[in-house]
A and B are shown apart, each in its own frame.
Chain A
Amino acid sequence: EVQLVQSGAEVKKPGESLKISCKGSGYSFSSYWVAWVRQMPGKGLEWMGIIYPRDSDTTYSPSFQGHVTISADRSISTAYLQWSSLKASDTAMYYCARLRESFGGVTYYFDSWGQGTLVTVSS
């Protein structure tokens, strides 16, 4: 069974750093792109970026480029999302999700999702 298990909820102060994780199991972690998705309180889903664990090739949404860092350690089947200096506006639920591709490069979808990590930033 494919599973993505995320680290637990975090409460941080503005300016602090944070790294949350997403551990994959039940499949070849290195062979599938893993994306991060933000959901602010009461709002919709926002695609943040994506990483290919085999070679750590990473692409960011322009909205998040420079604000977060996505990384992966394929030896422990884990992807990460990190901030160097949190802001109150980073308060949100963060999901990781596995990307699949099929049907000749016109079909892309996120077939497995982590349970989410709630990040609260407050002074």
Chain B
Amino acid sequence: SSELTQDPAVSVALGQTGRITCQGDSLRSYYASWYQQKPGQAPVLVIFGKNNRPSGIPDRFSGSSSGNTASLTITGAQAEDEADYYCNSRDSSGNHYVFGTGTKVTVL
């Protein structure tokens, strides 16, 4: 089955731009989705598809994809964006899904 690799940690200054990447072979076939998880809470979908945000997700969150890499960008990071972020994709081998290793985002 596929694996999705993320950097363990990313720091971004308040109000600045930060990017999280997710690499894996399955991303050549399927778009990634991105989830934000704050301590003690369930994950929340923030980006899906080419670059789509669910209702209620601020437009400072955006997504992009190229080859085997998907990216989540936070433009104008806020203190409340500090959280763990996970990518997810359907596995190329069938009706399986895989989560990335997760990235802890710190807003300085």
Contacts and interface: CB of A to CB of B under 8 A. Distances in A.
B35 interface: yes
Q: For this complex, into which size category does the number of interface residues on chain B fall?
A: 20 to 34
Given A50-B97, A59-B95, A111-B54, A45 B86 contact: yes
A110 interface: yes
A99 B95 CA distance: 11
B99 interface: yes
Contact of B42 (A99, A100, A113): A113
Interface residues of A, number: 26
Interface of A: 35, 37, 44-47, 50, 59, 61-62, 95, 97, 99-100, 102-103, 106-111, 113-116
Interface of B: 1, 29-31, 33, 35, 37, 42-45, 48-50, 54, 84, 86, 88-90, 94-102
